[in-house]
Amino acid sequence: MIASLTGVLSYKTIDKVVVDVHGIGCNVAVPLGTFYKLPDAGSQVKLIIHTHIAQDSVRLFGFLDHREKDIFQLLISVSGIGPRLALNILSGISPEELSGAISDGDTGRLVGIPGVGRKTAERMIFELRDKIVQLISSETSSESPAGLEREEALSALVNLGYKNNIAKDAIDKVIKKAGRKVTLEFLLTESLKILSGK
């Protein structure tokens, strides 16, 4: 079973890449989140791999970080979700938002992902809610929401005219929903959505 690939990124498109490993080109399907972070063709790359073995084929799915792969594997454990749909889900929503939507039982957000109907969204929530929480809580403390981003976001919101305690509540809601380390940009964007009532 292939767990990772290290080689030269010889070709990339929006949904798949070819990694040249000692002269052998490996075709790997990737989600959008991974695609946008990939270096230019000709560069060295390492992908974490999920090997999917079907009756008539072996397919490789690649990710740049273990968290995305872990969520992918949780998704394909849900009845009715195959690897292609799981990849599509990860391309339509960030791991943070997906974790938050499942934890909160937000079917509306999940149905907004192309390819996900209401029944699939309900199965995801029912089958993955506890597993998503366990996955998030098992991440190391070094990946917990950083105080620096929180303080910078609070300062920015106060400068925009929001009261300190109201801004702080919004930021804490975003951090709790994401359940892991978040960027300053994500904190501000999601906090402003809460403050504007969207």
Residue ranges of E strands in 13-161: 16-21, 24-29, 44-53, 58-63
Which amino acid appears at position 147 of this protein?
G
For 48-99, write each residue's pLDDT tens digit.
999 998 878 889 999 988 888 889 999 999 988 999 999 999 998 888 888 8
For 162-177, write each residue's pLDDT tens digit.
888 888 889 888 888 8
Q: What is the pLDDT of residue 27?
A: 95
CA separation for the pair 198, 193 (Å, rounded): 5
DSSP 71-85: HHHHHTTSTT--HHH
Torsion of CA 76, 79, 84, 90, to 10 degrees: -60
Q: If pLDDT is split at 50, 70 and 90, which confidence band does 127 have?
A: very high
Q: What is the pLDDT of residue 140?
A: 40
CA separation for the pair 77, 6 (Å, rounded): 27
Q: What is the pLDDT of residue 144?
A: 47
Q: If pLDDT is split at 50, 70 and 90, which confidence band does 1 have?
A: low
- For residue 69, the surrounding DSSP H or E stretch is helix 66-75
Mean pLDDT of the chain: 86
**Cβ-Cβ contacts under 8 Å for 156 (sequence gap 6 or more):** 188
Q: Is the pLDDT of residue 143 over 60?
A: no
pTM over 0.85: no
Q: Is the pLDDT of residue 146 over 60?
A: no
CA separation for the pair 79, 31 (Å, rounded): 20
Instruction: Give yes or no for a contact between 5 and 21, defined as CB atoms under 8 angstroms apart.
Output: yes
CA separation for the pair 124, 77 (Å, rounded): 9
